[in-house]
Structure 1
Amino acid sequence: MSNLLIAVVALVAIGLALWRLLAPFDGVTVSQATVGERTPATVYRPAGEGAAPTVLIAHGFAGSQQLMQPFALTLARNGYIAVTFDFLGHGEHPLPLTGDITRVEGATRSLLDQMADVARFARGLPRSDGRLGLLGHSMASDIIVRFAQQTPEPIVGTVAVSMFAPTVSAETPENLLVIVGGLEPQALLNAAKRAVALKPGVEEPSPGEIYGSFSDGSARGWRIADGVEHIGVLYSQESLTAARDWLNRSFGRKSRAGAVVWGPWILLLVLAAAAFARPAFTLLPAVREAPTGAGIGWRRAWPVVVIPAVATPLVLWLLPTNFLPLLVGDYLAAHFGLYGLLTALALWYVGRGRDIAAPTPPLPWARFALAAAAVAAYAILAVGVPIDRFFISFWPIPERLPLIAALFAGTLPFFLADEWLTRGPQHARGAYPATKAAFLVSLMAAAGLDLEQLFFLFIIVPVMVLFFVVFGLFSRWSYKATGHPAVAGVANALIFAWAIAVTFPMVQQ
């Protein structure tokens, strides 16, 4: 009865979330396009027949155009033509990002050239009145600022979210608003304030105040979206409303359609799909009659938890990890792989091989493979498809399939060793969340040792926490049904490899 109740509640929650997520599309026409050299783009057109200004919307590092849908829908519902696209190497763009990412004449130039192509496409769209505004997040904030400063065509208004843009001057870009999340690093808050303080006579600009005039392009301001971090700022009602109002004043328009606030509904959809796994996983075939696993208490488990967390970032700090054409993703593969090997070695040492010896009787491989495949398929379809539709690109293009295979070789040792450590009779209470917390601390330590190359690891921690929670529940429920920790070990290794391979940008230097 409890499983039936969970299934019913989960289905109702899924229906409610989908209804709220799809409702903003009413009155908006959405079409797909390919621009220039195979750039995937999406055009959001408002209802009506009159001409409208166009806003070009750009995502940040390791993002995709799906991530910017709340801005696109909010602006389209307010009478703008909104255009989103995938940068080179990101999302579903099949071509890698080329050039040195640390040099302006490297990757930055490639992204500026790509934006010029998309801007020409946007200006020439049917019903476009030829006027163009820009909105960009994080990495794209630098690109849109540079583009607005360099393009000979006028840019009416620019909105930079989570901005770092060293080229901002007192005069350019025109009509600039900077939005930053209240929980973002202090450096981004300082950058937002500094962009406004560049104006002559403005020493201590207040958030929410407007300095200068929209009519001559000198308007400048900054806003703080309270209580949100680097990703949450894209889903904040404050961010969306501020962008709408700023562009309305830049273009001399009046519209008051509400902001498209998706964040809570995306979270509800993912959590409801995850909850439905509990009754669904009762159908998994049993792999072991008696649950198996290391089953060791904290007295022996604590060094197995601590040693890999400390050793992995230190060892990898000394070794090259740029072995895949996947920025940051190759380091994550190495971190997962080494961490898993060290965990397995520590497990063997504390048990002298007894706790991780091959179980007897022999493993029923057909049932094991069926169970692992079912768990992975459920995660990819029930959780991955909603993520791809409403949050960020999750469905791999053919160019990313070899990367999934390579990353799976790294994630598999970690999840197999971790599942074995945290399952079994008399296992250490709380070991499962403790090992995930130790892994995240280890990742942050690695980022601290190499801030220039690995800073983005700090930013993805909230997403990693969500993944560990959701797929940790999958692990618990599949272990209860199958009795073998390796079922979730294989499934979660594939899921994480998949997520990393489709998220981080493909590069060619």
Structure 2
Amino acid sequence: MKLFIGLVAATAILIGLYQLHLGTAGLSVTRNTVGETPVTIFRPQSTAPAPVVLIAHGFAGSQQLMQPFAETLARNGYMALTFDFLGHGRNPTPMRGDVTEGKTITAALLAELTDVAAAARKLPGSDGRLAALGHSMASDIVVRFAQANPDVAATVAVSVFSPVVTATSPRNLLVVVGALEPAMLRNEGLRIVNLTAGGTASAGETYGDFLDGTARKLALARGVEHIGVLYSHDTMVETLRWLNAALGKQGEGFIDNRGRWLALVFLGMITLAWPLSSLLPAASPMPAGAGLGWKPLLIAAVTPALLTPLMLWKMPTDFLSILLGDYLTLHFLLYGVLTGIALLYLHSDLSPGAMPVSWKRIAIAAVAVSAYNIVAFGFIIDTYVFSFLPIPARLPLIAAIACGTLPYFVADEWLTRGKHARRGAYTATKFCFLLSLAIAVALNPMKLFFLVIIVPAILLLFMAFGLISRWSYAATRHPLPGALANAAVFAWGIGVTFPMIVR
């Protein structure tokens, strides 16, 4: 049975990767740098001169996240250029300033986009025309860039918030918002379009005129949120049609639909972990773990969820050159320590030494599961989703963050695994952790607001790697291999995702 499931999963992975690879069919993709800024240029197959579209990612993103736009536009006759902002992805230069103040960092990002645009204007094959597209944080940056450069023929602002938009600037502005995004973003889109529509704007309607640069529209992408909007068919179609109208191009060909293929690949990767887990060596002759009943389990789960944000509320948490990574490190660390204390108190006979184990087999299993989580998943993520291969400057950050994730996952895996563990225990403890982060944001919204954006990503990681650690536990009969692997992949993910910043 497991062999059959493994073959099906491997087939799904290969099909998905093949379809993802087809996205660049007929394109010339080259990588370069502008100063220290990594850029990628997507050129169409045609040798005819083409407009250039600058594509900018949002907070905690990287240029890979914007590939759906780049491939869609390049396959339809545009030159598309993606890049990593300061402190993001593989850009080695950190952002400088206070993110809550905004002006210093905004000016630096705008200057960087201006430098990238200057290089883009000189690209062989450019017909001299320029458009700009930005998501979330970058929506304001591309708006400001287009206002400072009136030759930018059109601007696409995805998940927009920009207080500087006027009734006539920037030229030909399309606003795209996911239908499941917070209402404040939809209201911001309507406010922007109403500057031209005179207070009568509604989603899906075009106002103004492309010829004089006053065209405005708010498009709602169905069924998607802040990240899903970047993979939405509606987003791609609206963007292509808008740029075609603004730049006088015709035709609508390839539309990127990688969302379904990424889902197929990752579903296959998670499923494949089940038969592969059978190859892990058993580290214990019988299941180890706490195996608490519901009442003590909830005490051990709820107590750190409430105490951690309260204890960290007024504590200085700026000690790493990575935005929010320092706070998350402390949150994981303190949460894990409190969970461990609760475990020892509620399960007084709990002793790792009481169960005969093979530490060599635990190490082998932990390395194997960690390699699968980081290398196998990481290759796909780095190629098609966001930057996952760390630059040297991020390696010490990953090690520091692991000092926080390790205590948390060791305590949590021990709490939720065992022959007497209750069904749903793992889900309950993860809900408590997310609740704890929500309390932390509520106590300090100015500093921790961006944590709200990553909650869906943390939830997906808990689900995916929770299944893998469960199968690891079933094979090894010990919670430690799964705990070590989860601690490693979470530290890695946080360390490569959040922007580097010097305050």
Residues 87 and 95 in structure 2, CA contact (< 8 A), matched pair in contact too: yes
Structure 1 stretch 324-333 or stretch 234-243: which is displaced more?
A: 324-333
> Which of residues 85, 95, 98 in structure 1 aligns to 2:96?
98
Deviations 1:249-291 (A, max 9, x none): 1101112113101112112111211211111111111110101
In structure 2, what residue type is equivalent to 1:144?
A: V
1:393-408 → structure 2 map (5 Å cutoff): 393-408=387-402
Residue 256 of structure 1 corresponds to which residue in structure 2? Answer: 252
Residue 453 of structure 2 corresponds to which residue in structure 1? Answer: 459
3-state DSSP of counterpart to 1:132 = strand
> Which of residues 301, 308, 311 in structure 2 aligns to 1:305?
301
Structure 1 stretch 170-179 or stretch 101-110: which is displaced more?
A: 101-110
Deviations 1:470-493 (A, max 9, x none): 101111111111111011111100
Tell me whether 1:411 sits opposite 2:408 in the alignment.
no
Q: Distance in 2 between matches of 1:107 and 1:361?
A: 54
Q: Distance in 2 between matches of 1:29 and 1:195?
A: 36
| Structure 1 residue 321: Cα displacement | 1.2
Instruction: Give the CA RMSD over aligned residues.
Output: 1.1
| Structure 1 residue 99: Cα displacement | 2.1
1:200-279 → structure 2 map (5 Å cutoff): 202-279=198-275
Q: Distance in 2 between matches of 1:204 and 1:232?
A: 28
Tell me whether 1:31 sits opposite 2:25 in the alignment.
no
Q: Distance in 2 between matches of 1:363 and 1:109?
A: 57
Residue 430 of structure 2 corresponds to which residue in structure 1? Answer: 436
| Structure 1 residue 362: Cα displacement | 5.2
Q: Aligned pairs, how many?
A: 503
1:51-450 → structure 2 map (5 Å cutoff): 51-151=49-149, 154-199=151-196, 202-351=198-347, 353-355=348-350, 357-360=351-354, 363-450=357-444
Residues 100 and 447 in structure 2, CA contact (< 8 A), matched pair in contact too: no
In structure 2, what residue type is equivalent to 1:54?
A: V
3-state DSSP of counterpart to 1:255 = coil
| Structure 1 residue 187: Cα displacement | 0.8
3-state DSSP of counterpart to 1:347 = helix
TM-score (norm 1): 0.97
Tell me whether 1:504 sits opposite 2:498 in the alignment.
yes
| Structure 1 residue 195: Cα displacement | 0.2
Residues 14 and 269 in structure 1, CA contact (< 8 A), matched pair in contact too: yes
Deviations 1:273-330 (A, max 9, x none): 1211111111111110101001111132110011111111111112121111110111
Residues 44 and 79 in structure 2, CA contact (< 8 A), matched pair in contact too: yes
In structure 2, what residue type is equivalent to 1:293?
A: G
| Structure 1 residue 105: Cα displacement | 3.8
Q: Distance in 1 between matches of 2:6 and 2:355?
A: 35
Residues 416 and 489 in structure 1, CA contact (< 8 A), matched pair in contact too: yes
Residue 5 of structure 2 corresponds to which residue in structure 1? Answer: 6
Residues 147 and 170 in structure 2, CA contact (< 8 A), matched pair in contact too: yes
Residues 168 and 214 in structure 2, CA contact (< 8 A), matched pair in contact too: yes
Unaligned runs of 5+ in 1: none
Residues 291 and 418 in structure 2, CA contact (< 8 A), matched pair in contact too: yes
Divergent runs of 4+, >4 A? none
Residues 61 and 140 in structure 1, CA contact (< 8 A), matched pair in contact too: yes
Q: Distance in 2 between matches of 1:57 and 1:68?
A: 7
3-state DSSP of counterpart to 1:55 = strand
Q: Distance in 2 between matches of 1:101 and 1:414?
A: 28
| Structure 1 residue 101: Cα displacement | 2.1
Tell me whether 1:475 sits opposite 2:474 in the alignment.
no
In structure 1, what residue type is equivalent to 2:399?
A: A
In structure 1, what residue type is equivalent to 2:455?
A: V
In structure 2, what residue type is equivalent to 1:397?
A: I
Unaligned runs of 5+ in 2: none
3-state DSSP of counterpart to 1:17 = helix
In structure 2, what residue type is equivalent to 1:68?
A: M
| Structure 1 residue 186: Cα displacement | 0.9
In structure 2, what residue type is equivalent to 1:41?
A: V
| Structure 1 residue 104: Cα displacement | 4.6
Residues 76 and 82 in structure 1, CA contact (< 8 A), matched pair in contact too: yes
